[in-house]
C-alpha cells in the first residue's frame, strides 16, 4: 500500500502507538541503522570511507547505529555537539575527502533558528561537495513546512523514516532533499494514519498489472488510437505510439495530419498510421483515445478543436488529453462513467487555470483539485518533480521515481502514449487510479535505470525501457 505523507505530530502519534505495543526505541533505531548502512554501501565502493555526522537527537542515534552496522567500508564518526569548537574537526575530516557523508545532526525536533556557528558547520558540509545521505530529513529543514532555520544540508539522497514528512514535498525543500526514499520496514507498527497525500512505493505494484489470460488475443488487450503529430512535430506522434506499444495494447493506430503522415509512418512498423480528417469515424474497436502530442503547428483545424470537445463530453472510451490539445478543452462535465485524464505540466496547468506556473508550483495539490473540478472531476496527472495523480477529492498519489534527466523533449509524449496503451486494456481501465500512478512510476523508474547505466541517454532509450521496471 502507498504510505501516507505525514506531519511531525502524526509521526509522534505513530511512534507513541508503536511504543504502546512494547516495541522499544532502541530496536527501531537498530533497524533504521541497518537500512542506512545498506543504503550507504550502495552509494559507495568497497574500502571507501563514510563520515557520520552525529548530533544529540535520535537522528544522531540512527547515524551511530548505521556506522556500527557498516560492513566493507571504513566508518568515521564525528560527534558535533559544540559547533564553535567542533568546526575545525569537521574541516579536517572533510579535507580527507570521504566518499559519503551521513547527516545525522538534526531531526524533526528542530524548532529554532540555527546559530551562526551551526550555519558555518552546514556551510562547510555543503562547500565540500561530497555527496550526503540525510537521515530522515536534511539537517536545518522544517519537516512540516519545507522552510529552513537559516541553513540546510544539501543532500543527494534523503532516507526518511517510516513515511515522508509533508515538508519534504514542499518546493522550498526541493533544493535540499535530493532523491527521497522511504525506510518503511524499521520496526514501527503499520501506519495507523490516513492522509490526503500518499507516497508511491515499488511494492505497490506487486502482481500488477495482472497476468494476461493464456488464451488472450489482440482484441483482448484493446485498441489505442492516438491523434497526434503535425508538420515539424512528427516525432511526438511516433513517441506516443511507442509508449502505447510498450504498454502492450493489442492494437495501436496513429491518426496524424496529412503533411506529417510520411515521417510518422516511416518511424513505425507495428502501429497503423493514417491521416486525420474532420469527417473521420473512429474505429469501432477503439478502447482508448489519446489526443495532443505534437499538435503544435501554429494553426490547428477548428474541426479538430470541436471534435476533441465532443469526444470529451460524449465518447464512452477512456480519453487522455495531453500537450497542445489541453487548450481545446472547455470547462464542464461528462458522463460519470467515463474515464477522462489530462496530463499538464505546470505551465499548461497555469494556462488552464488562468494562473502562473509559480502559483501552480507553490500549491500543486490545490492545482490538481482545481483542474479536476474545472473539467468535470477528471483524473489529473500534474507532471514535474514528484508528479501528482488525483481528482477533485479523494487520495492524491505522489510519484517517487524519476530524475532531472527526464527533462527532455518527447518524454511527456512517451508517457501519454504509455498511459493510453494501458487504459486501452479493459482489465487496467477498471483500476484507473492504480493504472495511472503505475504508468507514472514506470516512466520514472525507466529513467532511473537508464541513469544508473549511463549519463547521456535520450528519450528514444526511454521508449525502449519504459514498462520494464519490477
Q: Convert the pLDDT of each residue in 413-462 to its tens digit.
A: 999 999 999 999 999 999 999 999 999 999 999 999 999 999 999 999 99
**Domain holding 159: CATH number?**
3.40.50.10260
Flag whether 236 is in a domain: yes
Q: For 112-131, give the DSSP string.
A: SPPPHHHHHHHHHHHHHT--
Assess whether 157 and 241 both reside in one domain. no
Assess whether 56 and 155 both reside in one domain. yes
Assess whether 178 and 228 both reside in one domain. no
Flag whether 98 is in a domain: yes
Assess whether 291 and 339 both reside in one domain. yes
Q: How far apart are CA 51 and CA 297, in angstroms?
A: 54
- What ranges in 387-458 are assigned the alpha helix state H? 411-423, 426-429, 432-453
Assess whether 128 and 273 both reside in one domain. no
**For every one of its 470 residues, what pLDDT tens digit does the chain have, with 9 covering 90 and above?**
779 999 999 999 999 999 999 999 999 999 999 999 999 999 999 999 999 999 999 999 999 999 999 988 999 999 999 999 999 999 999 999 999 999 999 999 899 999 999 999 999 999 999 999 999 999 999 999 999 999 999 999 999 999 999 999 999 999 999 999 999 999 999 999 999 999 999 999 999 999 999 999 999 999 999 999 999 999 999 999 999 999 999 999 999 999 999 999 999 999 999 998 888 888 899 999 999 999 987 766 788 899 999 999 999 999 999 999 999 999 998 999 999 999 999 999 999 999 999 999 999 999 999 999 999 999 999 999 999 999 999 999 999 999 999 999 999 999 999 999 999 999 999 999 999 999 999 999 999 999 999 999 999 999 999 999 98
Q: CA-based diameter of the chain, in Å?
A: 79
Grid cell, residue 377, equals: 472531476
Domain hosting residue 399, numbered range: 218-465
User: Domain tally for the chain?
Assistant: 2
Three-state DSSP string of 344-388? CCHHHHHHHCCCCHHHHHHCHHHHHHHHHHHCCCCEEEECCCCCE
Say if CB 136 and CB 62 are below 8 A apart. yes
21: Cα separation from own chain's centroid: 34
pLDDT tens for 236-290 read 999 999 999 999 999 999 999 999 999 999 999 999 999 988 888 888 999 999 9
Please report which helix (H) or strand (E) contains residue 53, including its range.
strand 49-54
Flag whether 207 is in a domain: no
> What is the 8-class DSSP label of residue 274?
E
Assess whether 160 and 224 both reside in one domain. no
Q: How far apart are CA 305 and CA 423, in angstroms?
A: 23
Assess whether 56 and 118 both reside in one domain. yes
Helix (H, G, I), strand (E, B) or coil at 399: coil
Assess whether 38 and 92 both reside in one domain. yes
Assess whether 345 and 440 both reside in one domain. yes
Grid cell, residue 343, equals: 496530463
Say if CB 171 and CB 143 are below 8 A apart. no
Q: How far is CA 148 from CA 57, 86, 121, 143, 240, in A?
A: 18, 22, 15, 9, 41
Task: Say how many C-beta atoms besides its own lie within 10 A of residue 373's C-beta.
Answer: 15
Q: Is the peptide bond prior to 209 cis by the omega test (within 30 degrees of 0)?
A: yes
Flag whether 206 is in a domain: no
Phi, psi (rounded to 5 degrees) for 385: -60, 130
Cell 522544517, residue? 142
Where is the domain boundary, 193, 227, 252? 193
Residue 2: the pLDDT is: 75
**Domain holding 349: CATH number?**
3.40.1190.20
Residue 272: HSE in the Cβ half-sphere, 13 Å Cα cutoff: 14
Residue 296: the pLDDT is: 84
Cell 542515534, residue? 61
Q: How far apart are CA 310 and CA 226, in angstroms?
A: 16
Assess whether 176 and 236 both reside in one domain. no
Q: How far apart are CA 362 and CA 22, in angstroms?
A: 41
Residue 427: the pLDDT is: 95
Flag whether 205 is in a domain: no
Q: How far is CA 255 from CA 237, 283, 302, in A?
A: 9, 11, 16
For residue 241, give the nearest of 419, 72, 376 by alpha carbon: 419
Residue 302: the pLDDT is: 83
Give me the torsion for CA of 275, 314, 249, 283, rounded to 10°. -50
Q: For 136-195, give the DSSP string.
A: SS-TTB-TTTS-BSS-----SEEEEESS-BGGGGSGGGHHHH-EEEEE--SSPPPP----
Amino acid at each position: 500500500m502507498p504510505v501516507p505523507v505525514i506531519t511531525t505530530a502524526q509521526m509522534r502519534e505513530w511512534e507513541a502507538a508503536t511504543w504502546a505495543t512494547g516495541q522499544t526505541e532502541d530496536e527501531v533505531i537498530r533497524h533504521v541503522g541497518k537500512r542506512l548502512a545498506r543504503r550507504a554501501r550502495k552509494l559507495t565502493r568497497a574500502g571507501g570511507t563514510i563520515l557520520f555526522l552525529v548530533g544529540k537527537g535520535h537522528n544522531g542515534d540512527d547515524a551511530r547505529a548505521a556506522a556500527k552496522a557498516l560492513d566493507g567500508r571504513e566508518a568515521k564518526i564525528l560527534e558535533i555537539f559544540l559547533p564553535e569548537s567542533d568546526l575545525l574537526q569537521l574541516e579536517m575530516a572533510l579535507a580527507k575527502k570521504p566518499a559519503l557523508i551521513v547527516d545525522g545532526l538534526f531531526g524533526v525536533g528542530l524548532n529554532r533558528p540555527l546559530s551562526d556557528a551551526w550555519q558555518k558547520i552546514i556551510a562547510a558540509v555543503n562547500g565540500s561537495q561530497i555527496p550526503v545521505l540525510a537521515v530522515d530529513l536534511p539537517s536545518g529543514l522544517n519537516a512540516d513546512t519545507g522552510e529552513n532555520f537559516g541553513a540546510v544540508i544539501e543532500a543527494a539522497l534523503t532516507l526518511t523514516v517510516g513515511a515522508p514528512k509533508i515538508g519534504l514535498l514542499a518546493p522550498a525543500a526541493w533544493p535540499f532533499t535530493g532523491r527521497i526514499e522511504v525506510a518503511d520496514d524499521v520496526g514501527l507498527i503499520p501506519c495507523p494514519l490516513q492522509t490526503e497525500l500518499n507516497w508511491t512505493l515499488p511494492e505497490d505494484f506487486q502482481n500488477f498489472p495482472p497476468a494476461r489470460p493464456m488464451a488472450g488475443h489482440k482484441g483482448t488487450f484493446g485498441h489505442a488510437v492516438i491523434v497526434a503529430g503535425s508538420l515539424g512535430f512528427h516525432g511526438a506522434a511516433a513517441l506516443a505510439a511507442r509508449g502505447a506499444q510498450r504498454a502492450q495494447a493489442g492494437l495501436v493506430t496513429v491518426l496524424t495530419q496529412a503533411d506529417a503522415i510520411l515521417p510518422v509512418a516511416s518511424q513505425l512498423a507495428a502501429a497503423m498510421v493514417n491521416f486525420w480528417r474532420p469527417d473521420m469515424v473512429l474505429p469501432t474497436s477503439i478502447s482508448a483515445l489519446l489526443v495532443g502530442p505534437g499538435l503544435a503547428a501554429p494553426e490547428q483545424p477548428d474541426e479538430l478543436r470541436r471534435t476533441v470537445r465532443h469526444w470529451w463530453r460524449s465518447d464512452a472510451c477512456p480519453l487522455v488529453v495531453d500537450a497542445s490539445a489541453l487548450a481545446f478543452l472547455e470547462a464542464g462535465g461528462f458522463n460519470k462513467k467515463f474515464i477522462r485524464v489530462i496530463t499538464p505540466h505546470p505551465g499548461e496547468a497555469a494556462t488552464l487555470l488562468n494562473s502562473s506556473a509559480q502559483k501552480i508550483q507553490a500549491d500543486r495539490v490545490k492545482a490538481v483539485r482545481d483542474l479536476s473540478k474545472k473539467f468535470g472531476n477528471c483524473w489529473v496527472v500534474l507532471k514535474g518533480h514528484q508528479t501528482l495523480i488525483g481528482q477533485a477529492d479523494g487520495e492524491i498519489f505522489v510519484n517517487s521515481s524519476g530524475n532531472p534527466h527526464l527533462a527532455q523533449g518527447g518524454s511527456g509524449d512517451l508517457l501519454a502514449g504509455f498511459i493510453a496503451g494501458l487504459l486501452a486494456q479493459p482489465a487496467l481501465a477498471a483500476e484507473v487510479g492504480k493504472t495511472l500512478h503505475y504508468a507514472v512510476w514506470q516512466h520514472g523508474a525507466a529513467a532511473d535505470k537508464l541513469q544508473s547505466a549511463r549519463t547521456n541517454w535520450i528519450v528514444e532509450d526511454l521508449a525502449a525501457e519504459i514498462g520494464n521496471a519490477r
